[in-house]
Amino acid sequence: MLVSEILAIKGKVLFTVASNKTLSEAVAIMTEQDVGSLVVFDKGRMVGLLTFREVLVAAHKAGADWQALPVSEAMLKAPVVAAMNMEMDELRRQMVAHHQRYLPVMDDTVLMGVVSFHDVAKAVLEEQSFENRMLKNYIRNWPAEEEQA
């Protein structure tokens, strides 16, 4: 299964935030949209990724003043990205190797979506369910051996 197929299952809704917005504003977007990550943009290009992990680390370091921090100070500045034609196994390897639960999907410089560990798990379940149904159908319709006289 390719990343493009995972995005097709998930849908391509994107949630972004400007790098100069505050963490408080970013958390409000994440909460309202029920998402675990925001792609960070500055001057029309992706400059980072903000996930709940980066928010928690920044809040811990900044203490009571965390809400006023700019997103640019908390974001993951060089996130690993996926390509549309990347195989799911490679995507999972990248996520595990880089300890990154969310990967922006890029087509050259164009953001196509974000794939999460949850999206990968859902795609695997759907793929296995489909294969299971096909195998059961194949077995059910297996031609019976003709009786020999």
Is there a domain that residue 28 lies in?
Answer: yes
Per-residue pLDDT, averaged over 108-130, amounts to: 84
Q: How many structural domains compose the chain?
A: 1
The answer for 63, left when phi > 0, alpha when psi is -120 to 50, beta otherwise, is left
Closest CA to 81 of 40, 34, 43, 133: 40
Report d(CA 26, CA 13) in Å as an integer: 17
Is there a domain that residue 149 lies in?
Answer: no
Residue whose structure tokens are 């992706």: 46
Is there a domain that residue 93 lies in?
Answer: yes
What percent of the chain clears pLDDT 70, i.e. is strictly above it?
93
Domain range for residue 84? 7-140
Report d(CA 63, CA 22) in Å as an integer: 15
Write down the H helix ranges in the chain.
3-10, 23-33, 52-62, 71-74, 88-97, 117-140
Task: Name the pTM for this structure.
Answer: 0.79
Is there a domain that residue 146 lies in?
Answer: no
Is there a domain that residue 134 lies in?
Answer: yes
Residue 148 has pLDDT above 70, yes or no: no
Is there a domain that residue 34 lies in?
Answer: yes
The CATH code of the domain that includes 94 is 3.10.580.10
**pLDDT tens digits, one per residue of 30-80:** 999 999 999 999 998 999 999 999 999 999 999 989 999 999 999 999 899
**Distance (Å) of CA 129 to CA 40, 70, 80, 119, 142:** 35, 44, 30, 15, 20
First to last CA, the chain: 48
Is there a domain that residue 2 lies in?
Answer: no
